[in-house]
A = this chain, B = another copy of it.
Amino acid sequence: MIAQAYKEMLGAKSVIREISEWSTARGAEIGYDNVFDYSLGNPSVPCPASFTAACRDLLEHTDPVTLHGYTPTLTLPEVRAAVAESLNRRFGMDYTAAHIFMTSGAAGALAHALRCVGVPGQNVVTFAPFFPEYKPYAEGAGLALRVAPPRTADFQPDLDALDALVDENTAAVLINSPNNPSGVAYSAETLARLAQKLAAASQVYGHHIFLISDEPYREIAFGSPVPYPAQFYDDTLTCYSFSKSLSVPGERIGYLAANPRCEDADLIVPMCGQISRGTGHNCPSGLFQRAVARCLDDTSDLSVYKTNMELIYAELKRLGFTVQKPDGTFYIFPQALEADANAFCRKAMAYDLALVPGDTFGCPGYFRMAYCIETEKVRRSFAALERFVREEYGVQIHEK
């Protein structure tokens, strides 16, 4: 008999995907070039040439039995060592291969991290706005997701809300910086204070409360480097994906890095090997483990995201929006012009603008624009955006 729980989930469609599907359908009518599709966070720039070269070289010059053979349960030691070395060099950490576990992207890393430190019935706390997949990720591990309300003044996490949410059943706090959807990087000050609070709570409740840091957007930073959370708190599991930095989301390659000073640091990776057996994960691709190890210091040309951000931020300000300037990612998260962001985004569709209401990120009244699209299209979208806010909301526009 098919499982009722998953059957029932079929009703609940992702809002982001629904809007993306609307964009595709509308594109079929009027030409996709004329739909200003800010719905999906799918990288729009190609992978670096070094990644393609690495794949081709591996296919040409490695014995195929080795290249495509099973990788060890704990993933390839030389790849894990290379990741550790790169993180140490960049962030002043002291990882060894023993602390790195290669995964199927950040989703795979999070699936392992949550099971490493949480047991069914416990809870994990995150801060709005948050990536909506955190809910199925947490629930898939048997954990309840608790969400601290957004601090819309600056989109730093509301640490004052933490005390009411953390209790004896809290396994971990889950953060995402730079943040999807706000684009804001959690500041060093924020992270230091978060670490203090987690250390205190761990003391109070008599067990280590872990920090799970989801960092797929780490390399898309628009100014000063994004603070590295594991520097601030020993019990940190860092979850990374090469999806955005190398523009390879379909190849499902990332890693989990356990802070060498976390509880039972040397057991985390062996535990991941056990967790994989139950979830059917069993290592990411051997080819792509090897390929990313050769590109650890490379990224796609990510400059388009900053160009787009600067343009959109300036235009949103000109149109009178309240909006926080992103520190990174390819998202921006302005306040809608009416309290109901769903209504706002629905009305925008009439102007062929695909915007995603903030409700799905736990932050009603705001909306997300994913600007991983061509700059030329960003520019063209401004006329539609201006017409939308003028006609629907009577906004008085300052001259350009």
Contact = CB atoms under 8 A, between A and B. Distances in A.
B1 A278 contact: no
Contacts of A88: none
Interface in A260-307: 263-264, 267-268, 270-271, 274-275, 277-288
Given A252-B283, A281-B281, A7 B171 contact: no
Contacts of A187: none
Given A250-B70, A285-B285, A278 B2 contact: no
Contacts of A111: 278-281
Interface residues of A, number: 82
Given A3-B115, A280-B279, A59 B68 contact: no
A348 B396 CA distance: 87
A133 B73 CA distance: 13
A376 interface: no
B279 A6 contact: no
Nearest to A110: B280
A249 B52 contact: no
Residue in A1, A107, A136, A252 whose Cβ sees the most chain B Cβ within 10 Å: A1
A59 B52 contact: yes
A171 B1 CA distance: 7
B137 A251 contact: no
Contacts of A55: 55, 59, 287
Interface stretch (A40-48, A360-368, A377-385): A40-48
B117 A2 contact: yes
Contacts of A141: 278
Nearest to A275: B6
A108 interface: yes
Contacts of A282: 104-105, 107-108, 252
A65 interface: yes
B284 A252 contact: yes
A56 interface: yes
Contact of A6 (B4, B52, B115, B263): B115
Nearest to A133: B277
A64 B64 CA distance: 23
Interface in A4-26: 4-7, 9-10, 17
Nearest to A140: B278
A322 interface: no
In the A-B complex, the 6 residue pairs with the smallest Cβ-Cβ separation, listed nearest first, are A140-B278, A111-B280, A250-B286, A1-B207, A136-B277, A68-B248
